[in-house]
Amino acid sequence: MKAYIVTVGDEILIGQVIDTNSAWLATQLNLIGCSIIGKMSVADERKSILEGLYQAFAKADIVLMTGGLGPTKDDITKKVIAEFFGVGMQFSQETYTRLNRYFERLGRTPLESHRLQCYMPTNVELLTNRMGTAPGMWFRHGQNKVLISMPGVPYEMKHLMTEHVLPKLKTSFIAKPIAHRTLLTAGRGESMIAKDLQDLEEELPDFIKLSYLPNLGGVRLRLTGMMDDPRLLNYHLDNYANQIKKQLEGWVFGEGESSLEARLGASLVEKVLTIGTAESCTGGKIAAKIVRVPGASRYYLGSIVAYSNKLKAQKLQVADTTIKQYGAVSEETVKEMVNNALGALGVDIAIAISGIAGPQGGTKDKPVGTVHLAIGTQARIINIQLTLGKDREKNIEYATNYALFKTWQFVNGYA
Amino acid sequence: MKAYIVTVGDEILIGQVIDTNSAWLATQLNLIGCSIIGKMSVADERKSILEGLYQAFAKADIVLMTGGLGPTKDDITKKVIAEFFGVGMQFSQETYTRLNRYFERLGRTPLESHRLQCYMPTNVELLTNRMGTAPGMWFRHGQNKVLISMPGVPYEMKHLMTEHVLPKLKTSFIAKPIAHRTLLTAGRGESMIAKDLQDLEEELPDFIKLSYLPNLGGVRLRLTGMMDDPRLLNYHLDNYANQIKKQLEGWVFGEGESSLEARLGASLVEKVLTIGTAESCTGGKIAAKIVRVPGASRYYLGSIVAYSNKLKAQKLQVADTTIKQYGAVSEETVKEMVNNALGALGVDIAIAISGIAGPQGGTKDKPVGTVHLAIGTQARIINIQLTLGKDREKNIEYATNYALFKTWQFVNGYA
């Protein structure tokens, strides 16, 4: 079954609100075998809403509308829906009674605008909203189509979906199951991965599709399958996911909605290791990412951010001669930083990083974007030089992600 | 002038990616007098992309497409654009040369898939992308319309918009001037601000609108005006912006696209002060934010992240008795952290923070969300207790922003 999302509201079109509803709706609908074939955002305006409805129903059987149901003047969705179906409006005493009770609980009285909110298209089936004033609305359209209209407030929409819409859709429509597997990779470019997976991609059956979703320092690989038999579908997806994991061993660090820092944390817990960082150019960002993970205190002890060379000498005992001879951004400096952080922080593994994040501070020998990274234990240290771009924020983000990934590889025997 | 956004890519339709590009695009286009009249998300699939183009151009003169330009197989946007315009594809030697140079810098060789990426519709005008491999594309459509296609990766899209698209749009299209003033506040709730500004809001003329854009720990106030005479418009906007700044003195920390960390940095440079942090629950995030600002080395020296109590004692000389008597999350501990960080880091101002970020670790006396913050010099220390929620990531983000804001107030004599 195919669905189309129409979001109503100027706030999305002028960029005041980022539409997080659609991604949530898509994920939930996918789980019951419903795929979103398109999405449209329209203004709070009769003609745009009507056009949105016509176009959506030209493509899909299920149309989900969010927004445009509040008590303020610019919300005209309900009237346009009535026009679309060619029906009138009628007062819903049920909704008005609920509204009165709601305001009574808050110790307030409803306004005239709230009473007007209780007029509904005559063909509506109301979905009780326990999180707010505007009920959800369900409209049958002919034999096999349905329009669902919900408030745009995320927690109200989610409540209506979970309590009413998803269960009703499940019983009203029979669908072909869709399932996904997402593999998280880092440290390897999209095109290199495409080359690694060339043979496998050619082998993929028609009912399974592979997509590449790149971000700063990593690529997510998504397998999507659609098939009548959910057990067989899951079997095939697992099979191809395992083949990819094997082909990209050491680059796939996790699956699904996980993150680099969470996977690194899990590896540290498993191997009962503690970690700390000695940071310069990233200014504490590697530590901050490690700490984002709930329960990070089991393995993360602390960091020294030595941004000035003086603190590199004082707090991390980097020898003056090392900085003079090789520079603060050098293999030698980050290796000394690792060695001394191991002792100073009392950790099993230390990550040290020093670089020229930019936009100023580069030289001919060491241009902006030069970053040295070292990771080590008392027994073994690895070091990598990165050559990044000119953009300060991007360089810091990339270097942070890369450091976490290399540490994950280091802990798991891949580096 | 009217614009329409078409985002291409299954990742948005299946909910794996939240579309943050559109909100940013809308905000930027608004600033040059261009309004977004609609937005559509379509699948990586010929028919959907074509339909999207037809529908977008039926409504708008400017169509912005994002996504679908990478080197992997699922990216077919360029071919569909050529089909839409009825033109063929040709090899762009210019793009290929740039690609080769790009890979040379990285010490890698381009793959066959990169070479194939250099085929472009023949009517394209290329927009150089310094942040990635796929260039932006500008297509004139008849006399007065234009299609702009950009990669979906946010930093690449933003770079192309800022460097090429916005300047080109400004010179190609004439619009009624729209102007904005954005005032950045922190530390004060939206409804309190609304109360402070009640009189002023009633006085605002019809051609000026005030919007509240809340985020974690702050509210941005945006004045938007539209008027034929740009000089008069700017005069009125400046006038109301100044009134708001006066009314909210000590809460407005900056204007426009600035940030807390940038404004704090500017204050430190102005007053020739150095700063460092002693962090526990924020895990280095306050430092990482300070370091985001180009030139932060002028005032930021370093940090000690003491996540474990042992390191709080060792690295920040917090007395065992203090931790035993008052706990690691207490006014006494953060005050000692400030005092000792001032010496250990050799800075003029130290920020210290300790809290229970959650989701575990709370007690009856000190529930999850309890955070103690202290800021001080050798001469004076202030401290604040925050009572936040249960969400770890939100708590860390809020505490970080609040610490930066209080430090801005402290440095500028408002706290």
Q: Which chain A residues are Cβ-neighbours of B401 within 8 angstroms?
A: none
Q: Which chain B residues are Cβ-neighbours of A281 within 8 angstroms?
A: 291
- Is A338 within 8 Å of A290 (Cβ atoms)? no
Read off the CATH number of the domain in which B220 is found.
3.30.70.2860
In this structure, are A270 and A298 located in the same domain? yes
Under the phi-then-psi rule, with left for phi > 0, alpha for psi from -120 to 50, and beta for the rest, what region is B325? alpha
In this structure, are A266 and A406 located in the same domain? yes
Taking only the tens place, the pLDDT of each residue in A107-121 is 777 877 788 889 999
Is the pTM value of this prediction over 0.80? no
Taking only the tens place, the pLDDT of each residue in A228-269 is 888 899 999 999 999 999 999 999 999 988 999 999 999 999
Q: Which chain A residues are Cβ-neighbours of B297 within 8 angstroms?
A: 307-308, 361
Q: Please, is A4 exposed, middle or buried when counting C-beta atoms within 10 Å of its C-beta (0-12, 13-18, 19+)?
A: buried
In this structure, are B213 and B160 located in the same domain? no
- Residue B394 burial (CB count, 10 A): 16
Q: How far is A24 from chain B (nearest CA, A)?
A: 6
In this structure, are B217 and B148 located in the same domain? no
In this structure, are B107 and B243 located in the same domain? no
Q: Which chain A residues are Cβ-neighbours of B55 within 8 angstroms?
A: 55
Answer yes or no: is pLDDT of B405 > 80. yes
pLDDT confidence of residue A174: 65
Question: What is the rounded distance in angstroms from the CA atom of residue A212 to the CA atom of residue B73?
Answer: 9
With residues binned 3-state (H G I as helix, E B as strand, rest as coil), the percentages for chain A, rounded to 5, are: 45, 25, 30
In B, minimum Cα distance to A389 occurs at B131
In this structure, are A83 and A147 located in the same domain? yes
- Number of A to B CB contacts under 8 A, please give it: 279
Q: Please, is A34 exposed, middle or buried when counting C-beta atoms within 10 Å of its C-beta (0-12, 13-18, 19+)?
A: buried
Q: Which chain A residues are Cβ-neighbours of B295 within 8 angstroms?
A: 360
| Nearest residue, CB atoms, A308 vs list B283, B301, B305 | B301
pLDDT confidence of residue B389: 85
In A, minimum Cα distance to B280 occurs at A302
Q: Which chain B residues are Cβ-neighbours of A306 within 8 angstroms?
A: 302
With CB atoms and an 8 Å threshold, state whether A284 touches B296: no
Question: What is the rounded distance in angstroms from the CA atom of residue B129 to the CA atom of residue B134?
Answer: 7
pLDDT confidence of residue B409: 98
Q: Name the DSSP class of A14.
A: T
CA atoms within 13 A on the CB side of B46: 6
Taking only the tens place, the pLDDT of each residue in B200-212 is 999 999 999 888 8
Q: How far is A359 from chain B (nearest CA, A)?
A: 7
Pairing of strands B89-91, A178-186: unpaired
Q: Which chain B residues are Cβ-neighbours of A211 within 8 angstroms?
A: 10-11, 44, 74
Tell me the three state secondary structure of residue A369: coil
- Partnered with residue A184 across adjacent β-strands are A220, A254
At which of B172, B204, B224 does a domain end?
A: B172
Question: What is the rounded distance in angstroms from the CA atom of residue A407 to the CA atom of residue B389?
Answer: 32
With CB atoms and an 8 Å threshold, state whether B346 touches A288: no
Q: How far is B324 from chain A (nearest CA, A)?
A: 19
With CB atoms and an 8 Å threshold, state whether B22 touches A23: no
pLDDT mean values, one per 10 residues, chain A (415 residues): 91 82 89 88 91 94 89 76 95 90 79 84 93 89 93 90 92 77 94 95 92 87 88 94 97 94 98 97 98 96 94 90 94 96 96 95 93 98 95 94 98 96
At which of A255, A284, A318 does a domain end?
A: A255
With CB atoms and an 8 Å threshold, state whether B12 touches A214: no
In this structure, are A217 and A329 located in the same domain? no
Q: Which chain A residues are Cβ-neighbours of B294 within 8 angstroms?
A: 358-360, 392
In this structure, are A88 and A232 located in the same domain? no
pLDDT confidence of residue A63: 97
Residue A260, CA distances (Å) to A187, A293, A304, A404, A412 in order: 11, 10, 21, 7, 13
Taking only the tens place, the pLDDT of each residue in A359-387 is 988 999 999 999 999 999 999 999 999 99
pLDDT confidence of residue A249: 97
Q: Which chain B residues are Cβ-neighbours of A315 within 8 angstroms?
A: 302, 304, 344
With CB atoms and an 8 Å threshold, state whether A201 touches B73: yes
Q: Which residues contact B131 (CB under 8 A, 6 or more apart)?
A: A389, A391, A394, B153, B155, B156, B159
Structure tokens at B412: 């500028």
Tell whether B96 lies on the interface with A, counting CB pairs under 8 A: no
Which residues 210-229 of A have a C-beta within 8 angstroms of B? 210-216, 220, 222, 224
pLDDT confidence of residue A106: 72
Instruction: Give percent of chain B with pLDDT exceeding 90.
Output: 68
- At CA B131, angle to CA B125 and CA B132, rounded to 5? 75
In this structure, are A74 and A188 located in the same domain? no
In B, minimum Cα distance to A221 occurs at B11
With CB atoms and an 8 Å threshold, state whether A308 touches B297: yes
With CB atoms and an 8 Å threshold, state whether A285 touches B290: no
With CB atoms and an 8 Å threshold, state whether B345 touches A311: yes
Read off the CATH number of the domain in which B348 is found.
3.90.950.20
pLDDT confidence of residue A327: 94
In this structure, are A152 and A8 located in the same domain? yes
Query: Which residue in this structure is represented by tokens 């990083």?
Result: A353
pLDDT confidence of residue B183: 96
Domain count, chain A: 3
Tell whether A341 lies on the interface with B, counting CB pairs under 8 A: no
pLDDT confidence of residue B4: 96
Quote the ipTM score.
0.76
- What is the arithmetic mean of pLDDT over B98-103? 87
With CB atoms and an 8 Å threshold, state whether A14 touches B24: no
Question: What is the rounded distance in angstroms from the CA atom of residue A39 to the CA atom of residue B40?
Answer: 5
Length of chain A (residues): 415
Taking only the tens place, the pLDDT of each residue in B156-188 is 999 999 999 999 998 887 667 778 899 999 999
Nearest alpha-carbon partner for A194 in B91, B16, B74, B107: B74
- Is B51 within 8 Å of A251 (Cβ atoms)? no
At which of B172, B193, B215 does a domain end?
A: B172
- Is A7 within 8 Å of A18 (Cβ atoms)? no
Structural domain including B377 reads 260-411
Question: What is the rounded distance in angstroms from the CA atom of residue B289 to the CA atom of residue B272?
Answer: 19
In A, minimum Cα distance to B17 occurs at A23
Tell whether B103 lies on the interface with A, counting CB pairs under 8 A: no
Tell whether B316 lies on the interface with A, counting CB pairs under 8 A: no
In B, minimum Cα distance to A20 occurs at B18
In this structure, are B293 and B372 located in the same domain? yes
- For residue A6, give the amino acid letter: V
In this structure, are A168 and A216 located in the same domain? no
pLDDT confidence of residue A18: 83
